[in-house]
Amino acid sequence: MSGSATDRRLFRKRTVRDVDPGGKRVLVRVDFNVPLDRDGERVSVADDGRIRAALPTIEHLRDREARLVLVSHLGRPKDRERELSMAPVSARLGELIGAEVRQAPAVVGPDVEQAAAALAPGDVLVLENSRFEPGETKNDPQLSDALSRLADLYVDDAFGAVHRVHATTVGVAERLPAVAGFLLEREVTMLSGLLEDPGHPFVVVLGGAKVSDKIGVIERFLEIADAILIGGAMCFSFFRAQGLPTGDSLVEEEGVEPARRALERAQRSSCELELPVDLVVADRVAADAEWRQLDGVEVPDGWMGLDIGPRTARAYAERISQAGTVFWNGPMGVFELAPFQEGTRGVAAAVAAVDGLSVVGGGDSAAAVRQLGLDEAAYGHISTGGGASLEYLEGRELPGLAVLAD
């Protein structure tokens, strides 16, 4: 079952509720950095979760007759690659809101200013991929000035990008009245609920490939959680730190030393740091690979661990089922391939069944929930932020949030 209701008192920034956007041009920073499907020339949105998550803010503003200018990055373009145009994303947004969505030819410039000026109340214009402008990631003042000329009000609803100091997240917010959208408010409120008042036992499940991405949250959660359950390829950095053979498994070498330190800290902590006790191994990463269950974790040469094993999955599910609060970030294995998805499925199903607050963080875990056909509504909150949610939980300041009006 899902967790507690959103407690807005935890959110200390002004939001779209606090402003009257009627008739105004509103620049809304969204995180429409979504996976795409390519079929020859045809490009479409493979997972529209992030677009749907921004709809409450978009609908709220349209209902109040705002003229909407939406801006997002998409991928990490190097040279305005056509395949990273926002056009397919705009098309999907149009389907979701059942209205015409205009696609601007660029991020800024005279044509874009004209298109923004021509918007009628309720109209929606989507700017081109913000990273087509080299000034975006440098938080360039000129780009921020040009963006601010497109609107009277700035709304940040891009939780997934709020840890970036970019022109569309910080620069323009310094130049316009700037408030948060509903998604940003909900994300911060749900995640701060984990830190400020978690129900116990507080169980944290972390997977994915890299320890280095997660070491900050591991250290933070060693102080406040009751158990941290590790899965995904990152467990091999821990096994390497323990001197165990990892065969041909993916091992993040830079993660080995941080993993060793985390194991040491866990010894002094009341929080248990649990590693898999068995694995699913294969001869390569492929749906038709030769694979088998390994009763243990010492991976022989010629084999690589691609999922946690069934004993681990059962033990983790049991731990999760007793949780008062659970936070899950990162798949337990290569869930995209059928032989290696049972660990992630087991964890995802157990998290969905928790009575207390359940929060799923990170694009990969959210994608796993959808790909495995699980009911998104069964989770208290599925975060749209990957790096942003981890940085928030580590206790770091989010610049795109800090800049908004209190």
> What is the set of active-site residues?
50, 210, 363, 387
Stretches 149-157, 160-168, 228-236, 274-282: which one binds ligand 3PG (CB under 6 A)? 160-168
Stretches 120-128, 158-166, 300-308, 322-330: which one binds ligand 3PG (CB under 6 A)? 158-166
Q: Nearest Cα to 207, choosing from 176, 186, 230, 191?
A: 230
Among 331, 343, 386, 400, binds ligand 3PG (CB under 6 A): 386
Among 33, 249, 365, 371, binds ligand 3PG (CB under 6 A): 33
Q: Please state, in angstroms and rounded to a whole number, the distance separating the CA atoms of residues 51 and 30.
A: 8
Pull the structure tokens for residue 391. Answer: 């940085």
Parallel, antiparallel or unpaired: strands 67-71 and 25-29: parallel
Smallest separation, CB 157 to ligand 3PG (Å)? 13
Among 42, 76, 82, 268, binds ligand 3PG (CB under 6 A): 76
Task: Say if CB 332 and CB 307 are below 8 A apart.
Answer: yes
Q: Is 161 in the site for ligand 3PG (CB under 6 A)?
A: yes
Q: To which residue do tokens 């921020």 refer? A: 144
Q: Which residue is nearest to ligand 3PG (CB)?
A: 33
Task: Say if CB 271 and CB 219 are below 8 A apart.
Answer: no
Q: Please state, in angstroms and rounded to a whole number, the distance separating the CA atoms of residues 342 and 313.
A: 8
User: What 3 state SS string does 162-182 have?
Assistant: CCCCCHHHHHHHHCCCEEECH
Q: Please state, in angstroms and rounded to a whole number, the distance separating the CA atoms of residues 310 and 276.
A: 10
Q: Judged by CB, which is closer to ligand 3PG: 13, or 164?
A: 164
Angle between helices 211-224 and 256-268 (to 10 degrees): 10
Q: Is 31 in the site for ligand 3PG (CB under 6 A)?
A: yes
Site string for ligand 3PG, 196-235 (x = CB under 6 A): ----------------------------------------
Secondary structure letter of residue 139 according to DSSP: T
Q: Nearest Cα to 279, choosing from 262, 290, 263, 291?
A: 291
Among 363, 369, 381, 382, binds ligand 3PG (CB under 6 A): 363
Task: Say if CB 247 and CB 304 are below 8 A apart.
Answer: yes
Q: For residue 239, how far is the Cα from the chain centroid?
A: 27
Stretches 118-126, 159-167, 282-290, 343-351: which one binds ligand 3PG (CB under 6 A)? 159-167
Smallest separation, CB 3 to ligand 3PG (Å)? 23
Smallest separation, CB 324 to ligand 3PG (Å)? 28
Q: Is 186 in the site for ligand 3PG (CB under 6 A)?
A: no
- Show contacts with ligand 3PG in window 342-361 (CB under 6 A): none
Contact residues for ligand 3PG, defined by CB under 6 A:
31, 33, 76, 160-161, 164, 363, 386-387
